[in-house]
Structure 1
């Protein structure tokens, strides 16, 4: 297919993917993802992780196309996309391989920018953003699991990608770290970065993402404004997801969600 006109969006056109011949994990997905912070939710096995690996070009579509800012992922590699798309894995052990925190964060920007000074400055800034400046000389596996997840986020932020994908960012995070991640997301959105997450944490989705896409068995069953999607009991039940507690509370006390959405415990 000919190169599309470059534009600031992610276009998925009739996407099919199978690990084994004709055993499709994703089936005919067509979406356009824009600057709205977007959550992709669904039960285990719904195809969410496969989908974001395709966005990162770690996998190639079996059929269909994915265009990242006009670049077809079939025509590039994950390494070449590193300046555009950053993926923070759910399990830090899948990402961490250096013996010092600062070296871990610097690895990506060194390869992207080929400039040691810029890589160093970006890495220090990223560590400050995630609250790990005082840990830069430590071994990554001397950090807590929560800190290692933040380290992986710093490693992606240091490369300055336009698209940041977070895989289950709140797992193993305490309330402080979850609040910090929320603040980082808000900062990235203000900088016009694309922020995408896959998660089972519906309260986190409601608080931080204006668009939600629900996957079930490799297809999209709901897509739209987060409050409306997460108020759709039928879709959530089909996807084995919970209604966020603030929406439950609004229903229980008989008010609109808008009247209590700024409530914090």
Structure 2
């Protein structure tokens, strides 16, 4: 059974234009990036998955349960959402209290909640700031607190809205490692992103949203190999992909490491 099934999903706000137009998708454990220009319907779609919004028509099944038939509170035990702005999520006066709130809220026993909270803080590198007020920390650290809050709940599905905002290279590598770890555990990570380099380096599957529809859905390499289709969605391919294209390489590169390794191999073949 899929972790998420989306069936003929339509959504519009009251008296507004239709934002999502007949979306059909199935999600297994593969990490999935959602990309597209602003206004394409990405954030609305993620809020629908979380149950914060309800479909106008169509259905969303989370582990076989229709989001129309379950409360947001009960759904929280299955699916966690990290908002784009941590200020929309953080409200406690200490890092520890903020992160343990989620486990408490879904009824995890105290000992388990404490253990998962400490583990999550270690995973985001904030174990030495448990007593700090979150608003004494930087924006990037508050973003990591929000991520830890969801990790501590041990949900099978994790939704991330622009997780790399304000992150330096260390922060991006940390988040990348978390995505890969969760995927390796059979958990599903779905993330909205504008950072195409991070998408290419991190996610197994990529969806392109455009005008309320999914116009591309494939493994990440296959998506970025379709350069013209990506550009028609008003997106730029990853920088290393663009470099390979400009040099006339037929291979689609997703990481600098792949590009360098292949370039060295080609050079050695040329020498011979």
Q: Normalising TM by the smaller chain, what interval? A: over 0.9
Question: Does structure 2 conserve the Cα–Cα contact (< 8 Å) formed by 1:67 and 1:73?
Answer: yes
Instruction: Point out the structure with the larger helix share.
Output: 2
* 216-225 or 56-65, which deviates more: 216-225
* Residue aligning to 1:262: 257
Shift of 1:111: 1.5
* Residue aligning to 1:87: 81
Give ranges in structure 1 of 5+ residues lacking alignment: 1-6
* 110-119 or 134-143, which deviates more: 110-119
Shift of 1:235: 2.3
Shift of 1:8: 3.6
* CA RMSD of superposed structures (Å): 1.6
Counterpart pick for 1:107 among 101, 117, 120 = 101
Cα gap change, 1:120/1:215 in structure 2, threshold over 3 Å: closer, same or farther?
A: same
TM-score by length of 1: 0.93
* Residue aligning to 2:211: 217
Question: Does structure 1 conserve the Cα–Cα contact (< 8 Å) formed by 2:35 and 2:206?
Answer: yes
Question: Does structure 2 conserve the Cα–Cα contact (< 8 Å) formed by 1:213 and 1:222?
Answer: yes
Cα distance in structure 2, aligned partners of 1:252 and 1:264: 13
Runs (4+) of structure 1 exceeding 2 A deviation are 252-255, 257-265
Cα gap change, 1:44/1:260 in structure 2, threshold over 3 Å: closer, same or farther?
A: closer
Cα distance in structure 2, aligned partners of 1:122 and 1:205: 28
Cα gap change, 1:129/1:230 in structure 2, threshold over 3 Å: closer, same or farther?
A: same
* Residue aligning to 2:19: 25
Cα distance in structure 1, aligned partners of 2:175 and 2:14: 36
Structure 2 residue 153 is matched with structure 1 residue 159: yes
Matches within 5 A, 1:57-72: 57-72=51-66
Task: Spell out, residue by residue over 1:98-128, the C-alpha distance to the aligned partner (whole angstroms, 9 max, x if none).
Answer: 0010000010101113422211111011000
* Residue aligning to 1:170: 164
Shift of 1:23: 2.0
Question: Does structure 2 conserve the Cα–Cα contact (< 8 Å) formed by 1:14 and 1:65?
Answer: yes
Question: Does structure 2 conserve the Cα–Cα contact (< 8 Å) formed by 1:246 and 1:261?
Answer: yes
* Residue aligning to 1:3: none
Cα gap change, 1:248/1:109 in structure 2, threshold over 3 Å: closer, same or farther?
A: same
Shift of 1:264: 8.4
Task: Spell out, residue by residue over 1:135-176, the C-alpha distance to the aligned partner (whole angstroms, 9 max, x if none).
Answer: 100000011111000000000000000001110011111110
Give ranges in structure 2 of 5+ residues lacking alignment: 261-272
Cα gap change, 1:211/1:68 in structure 2, threshold over 3 Å: closer, same or farther?
A: same
TM-score by length of 2: 0.91
* Residue aligning to 2:193: 199
* 239-248 or 16-25, which deviates more: 16-25
Cα gap change, 1:8/1:220 in structure 2, threshold over 3 Å: closer, same or farther?
A: closer
- Length, aligned pairs only: 259
Shift of 1:251: 1.7
Question: Does structure 2 conserve the Cα–Cα contact (< 8 Å) formed by 1:250 and 1:260?
Answer: no
Task: Spell out, residue by residue over 1:157-196, the C-alpha distance to the aligned partner (whole angstroms, 9 max, x if none).
Answer: 0000000111001111111000100011111111111011
